[in-house]
Every structure is written in structure tokens, then in C-alpha cells.
Amino acid sequence: MTARHPFRPALAGTLLLWLAATAPGCERRPDAPAARLAPATEPVAEEHGDDEGHGHAEAEEDEPSDLDRPVDELLAEGCEHGIPMYECAECRYEAGVARVPPADPAIGALVQNARIEPRSLGGSLVLTGEVAWAEDRVAHVGPRTAGALRAAPVDLGAEVAAGDLLAELDSREVAEAQAEYLLRKAELNLALRTLTRERSLSEQGITAGQDRYQAQVARDTAQLAVDSARERLLLLGQSAEALAALDENPATTPRGRLEVRAPLAGMVVDRHASLGELVEEGQTIFIVADPTVVWVWADLREPDQAVLLAAVERGGATVEVTTASFPGETFEGRVDYTGGAVDPESRTLPVRATVANPQRRLRAGMFVEVRLVAPPGPPVPAVPQDALLSDEGREFLFVRLDDRYFIRRPVTAGRSDENWVELLGGPPVGTEVATVGAFILKSDVLRSKMGAGCAD
């Protein structure tokens, strides 16, 4: 995680002047603490040259970084100029030490301090997302059997209620099923009359009980055939109302007519239907969606997943969705799904939020900005965002030594919110660190990488 700092022209100009002023020569504090001094007994790695001034020996490849060495060891080390390394203007960068720049008359102190302190961090991330219809509120509507489209009274954008007619088809299979149903009903009626007659004759003692039993079996079998034919019509998409009309007026009811109705209330968001078109079984001819609730999908980078996982542990994360189409308007929702696998190409994790859309402003396919907000957790050691710096993949803070010097120390950053960063490892709570202007100290320490070195 790399802290981001706004560019400040005044600070930048002051920094350049300060670096130019402090580049040459060595310095020594008359009041340097004795406990931190160590005689420079180590041999000088490279003698001063006639033309090139003097320089330090190149560090061995396996020489540990100042971030890996104890503070006491760094402060006790002397340099080739016979003074503590951390006080030397040419050598102190090797110990990770930066000198506090003088205050600017116009803007005051260039570096401000704060302490590591316990903070309840919620966490916040800003992601790019895309709106999609909520799939649990979308219906892909089509016939359950093939037929020719004879009518489609609704168009794109139409508002429909559950049960509204979307289309009518002429289906041969439905016509055959209706004919079979009517035939089975006729057989049932005959079986019922036969059973009534046999019961009457049996009660009068004219026929044997065996005939009555056979009539009862025939009636039950006919009833099963009617029920089966009725069930087939329902499975083909025939409505209960259409079946009732067929029962009441079998001679006048149109045969083979299949109605396709909306299974839910919503808006017709897609249509693939032309009059006279032959529609296959299962083919989608309408898509009906409830636009009052939508899904918003976003991709979460691997380093940011800790914020979301912490939110899940504390009861979930909320989102605030904004779009350039409606500036100043915010749509609220909640994360309800986190992908089970990271995308191997983008190295991101898909995240889905369900967002209320009562005014129907958000539409599928719209790009939006998603601010993911995690609820606050228990207090953890934290520092202001300005204090966290990084170099070559390592994160560090500048810890205050005294009024003149700061030394950089390694840390492991965790979750963050708008202003604070969690420290999973590093200096203890209460340690004073540089915050605003810490990048000036970083520039001082890393100036060797820009060509600085010992020079007379």
C-alpha cells in the first residue's frame, strides 16, 4: 500500500532549495548525546581522489537495509568523517535518517507529527462498477412449445403486471392436447353414465356385483385419463382460465391458441418477436425485469480484499453508488455476494451489491462509481495516511528521534479508511511519526538514488 500525497508547489519549491543547501559538507552537533556516539574506528573503504572528491565504498549486495537493522545499531555507527553517521549530511541516508527541514516563513513547519494510536477503522474503497438487472427479478419469457406468433400486444419499455398477456401463438401441439382432453372428458362422461346405470340395476338385484365393480374401475380409469390430459395442457402453458373456457364452451373456444403471460411485474426490457414468426420451444421472446432493484458488479483487487473480509466478519459492507448521469445523487445498497475465486487474468475478485432503484434511474450496462464502506471494528494501532510511505515494495514510517532528526522504520500496513491506516506490525502505540511532509524526509533519505553522495 502506498500513501498518496497531494502535490504542493510551495513545499516542492522549498524542498529543492533545502536539498541544494544541505548536499555538500558534513555536520556535527555540538550537543550530540554521548550515548549515541561511536568512534569511527572502521577503515575508510575508499580514499579521497584528487579530482572526484571522496565517496563511500559500494555496499555489498547482501548488506542489510537500514530497515532491517535495529535503531540503536544505526545510531551507534560512525562514518568515515569521524562523527555519528546519522549526523553526517553525506552519510546519514545510509542509516535511513533524515534531517527536519527549516520552517518556511510563508507556510510554517514543512513536516508535521502525530502518534501511533488505537483507532476503530471501518475501511472504505472506491471501485468502478457496472449495473445489471437483478437476476432473481428477471424473467426470460417464451413458449413451452413451438408455435406461430399471432399477436404481441406489448412493446419495449412497457410496464406489465404479473399475469398480463405478452403474446399469443397458434400451436399444433396445444391443439392436439386440447382434442385429447375433450376426448378423455367424453370417455369420462360415458363411464359415469355406465356406473350410474350399473348401480341402479345392482340395487334392484337385476345385475351381479361384478358388473358394478367393472363400471367403477372404468370410471376411475377415465378420470385418470382426464387428469393426465389436463396436466399436459397446463405444462404446455395453457392457463387455468383458458381451460375453464374450454370446459364451458368446447365448441366455440379457439383450438391451438397458446397465451404467453408475464410471470412477474416489471418492465419489458427486451423483445425478440415478429408477427407470423415461428417460435421454437423454450425460445425467449420477451425479457421482463423489475427495475426497482438492481445488481451492481465491481472487481476488487487482491490487496483490498482484507477490507471486505473484515466487513463480512462484522456483519457486511454497504455501498454508495454514484453515476455521472445523475450528479449529486447517491444510490445505497449492500454487498451480498463475494466471488469464490480470483480471476486469473485481472487478479481481481468479483463483488456484487444489491442496490435499491425506486426511481428506476439506474439501467443495466451503466458504468458507476462504487464506494464500499465497511463498518468500524475494534481499535487497532493506526497512523494517518500521510505517514505511510514506500520504497521498492517496502512500507515504512519516519519515527522522530529528536527535534532535528527522523529515522525510517519498517511497518506492515493493513486496512485503511479515508484518513488512517492500520499497522499490523511496526513501532508501538505512542510512537511519534512524521505525517504531513513526510515525503520531504523520504526525498532526503533517498537522494543517494538521485546521484547524491559524499563530496567536498
Specify which residues 97 forms β-bridges with.
407
> Residues 148, 170: contact at Cβ < 8 Å?
yes
65-97 exposure pattern, b = at least 16 Cβ within 10 A, e = fewer: ebeeeebeebbbbbbbbebbbbbbbbbbbbbbb
**For residue 420, which amino acid is it?**
W
Domain boundary among 268, 288, 308: 288
* 321 and 369 co-located in one domain: yes
Quickly tell me which residue has 515525503 as its cell: 439
CATH number at residue 386: 2.40.420.20
* 362 and 415 co-located in one domain: no
Q: What is the pLDDT of residue 121?
A: 79
- CA distance to 40, 188, 194, 351, per residue, from 212 (Å): 123, 16, 9, 69
The whole-angstrom separation of Cα 260 and Cα 176 is 18
pLDDT tens column, 103-158: 777 777 889 999 999 998 776 788 999 999 999 999 999 999 999 999 999 999 99
Q: What is the pLDDT of residue 61?
A: 54
> Residues 281, 144: contact at Cβ < 8 Å?
yes
> Residues 387, 3: contact at Cβ < 8 Å?
yes
Q: What is the pLDDT of residue 48?
A: 38
Q: What is the pLDDT of residue 339?
A: 87
HSE of 91, CA atoms in CB hemisphere, 13 A = 26
* 75 and 193 co-located in one domain: no
What cell was used for 258?
A: 397458446
pTM exceeding the 0.75 threshold for the entire prediction: no
* 233 and 112 co-located in one domain: no
Domain count of the fold of the chain: 4
- Regions in the chain scoring below 50 on pLDDT: 1-9, 12, 16, 24-60, 452-456
Domain boundary among 373, 407, 422: 373
* 108 and 36 co-located in one domain: yes
* 110 and 57 co-located in one domain: yes
Q: What is the pLDDT of residue 24?
A: 44
Q: What is the pLDDT of residue 448?
A: 60
CATH number at residue 148: 2.40.50.100
> What counts of helices (H) and strands (E) characterise the chain?
7, 24
- Which of 165, 358, 140 has the alpha carbon at shortest distance from 270? 140
Give the domain extent around 197.
Answer: 172-255
* 35 and 93 co-located in one domain: yes
Report the 10 Å Cβ neighbour count for 184.
19
Quickly tell me which residue has 374450454 as its cell: 246
pLDDT tens column, 216-233: 999 999 999 999 999 999
Domain boundary among 327, 358, 373: 373
Q: Residue 64 class from Cβ within 10 Å (0-12 exposed, 13-18 middle, 19+ buried)? A: exposed
